[in-house]
Amino acid sequence: MTNLFLPGVPEDLVRASLAKAGGDELRSGKFANPQSSAALAANGFGWFLEWPDLLPAFPCLGDIDWPARSVDVERQMWFPWPGGRHPWLDAAVETGTCLIGVESKRFEPFRSGKEAKLSEAYDRDVWGDGMEPWCGLRDILRAEPRRFAHLDAAQLVKHAFGLVSESSRIGKEPFLLYLFADPASVKPEKRERHRAEIEVLAEKVQGSRVRFAPCSWREWLLLWNGEAVAHASALIEAFDP
């Protein structure tokens, strides 16, 4: 893709969101990388910043209220303590009753896996009722830091803790949407192993207050309709999700 942003994406708004986030995607040049996950997320959700009600529903969350009332590209979820690092999600969607934090992946799951690391800060008794499954996963990852080869499970645990804190602050139900690509250039067996690990994690955190909802980009994009259809086609052509 020659330009960083697809037609119809409000570049000034997206750039402002990326500039305040923690990843330094634009200045570092990472955003312009042909394999950039941030570019896919920013172009995918950025188109809806000014028209959140046009955002297509996620097939894995068909039972929540819709339409969306707001869409953010990059949003920080604050832990219930000052200082330190607080997680940034690639996008966030709010409906009347729900807060959906979006973690978007593209080629990252198919690179060399990294060891899970979770500091003692996450042991604080501040997460509230219904977070036992995520706390259990935290403990599993400490005991087996290479349990997942294709899934950054430690990052998802941190996001879940951030989401439960942020949702409590604004009085909405929290959801963690794992939106992943299935690039055709990646070997099918690797994509299958990635999906298998997603299923394992989903089973381990089932019943949690922060609901984990996995969905592929392509599965979601193929459901877009109305004014968003042309943008979905442009995303598929530009990013091969």
Which residue, among 41, 90, 95, 91, has the nearest Cα to 63 in the 3D structure? 95
Query: Where is 25: in which H helix or E strand?
Result: helix 25-28
List of residues 6+ apart from 208 with CB closer than 8 A? 130, 131, 132, 133, 134, 160
Q: Are the C-beta atoms of 65 and 97 separated by less than 8 Å?
A: yes
- Any domain includes 95: yes
Residue the block writes with tokens 């604004």: 170
- Any domain includes 3: no
List of residues 6+ apart from 33 with CB closer than 8 A? 39
**24 pLDDT more than 80:** no
pTM of the prediction?
0.95
Q: Which long-range contacts (CB under 8 A, 24 or more apart) does 62-65 make?
A: 64/95, 64/97, 64/98, 64/173, 64/175, 65/95, 65/96, 65/97, 65/98
**22 pLDDT more than 80:** no
What are 103's strand-pairing partners?
178
199-241 residue pLDDT tens: 999 999 999 999 999 999 999 999 999 999 999 999 999 999 8
26: left (phi over 0), alpha (psi -120 to 50) or beta: alpha
Distance CA 230, CA 232 (A): 5
* Residue 151 belongs to domain spanning: 11-239
Percent of the chain exceeding pLDDT 90 equals 87
**Confidence category of residue 2, pLDDT binned at 50, 70, 90:** low
**Confidence category of residue 13, pLDDT binned at 50, 70, 90:** very high
Which residue, among 75, 80, 86, has the nearest Cα to 42 in the 3D structure? 75
Bridging pattern class, strands 70-76 and 98-105: unpaired
pLDDT score at 23: 66
- Any domain includes 6: no
Q: Where are the extended beta strands (E) located within the chain?
A: 70-76, 88-94, 98-105, 173-180, 211-216
- Any domain includes 4: no
Measured torsion, CA atoms of residues 80, 101, 132, 66, in degrees rounded to the nearest 10: 120
Task: Report how many domains make up the chain.
Answer: 1
What are 93's strand-pairing partners?
71, 100
- Any domain includes 2: no
Measured torsion, CA atoms of residues 11, 178, 144, 79, in degrees rounded to the nearest 10: 60
- N residues, the chain: 241
Q: Are the C-beta atoms of 158 and 100 separated by less than 8 Å?
A: no
Which residue, among 78, 11, 66, has the nearest Cα to 39 in the 3D structure? 11
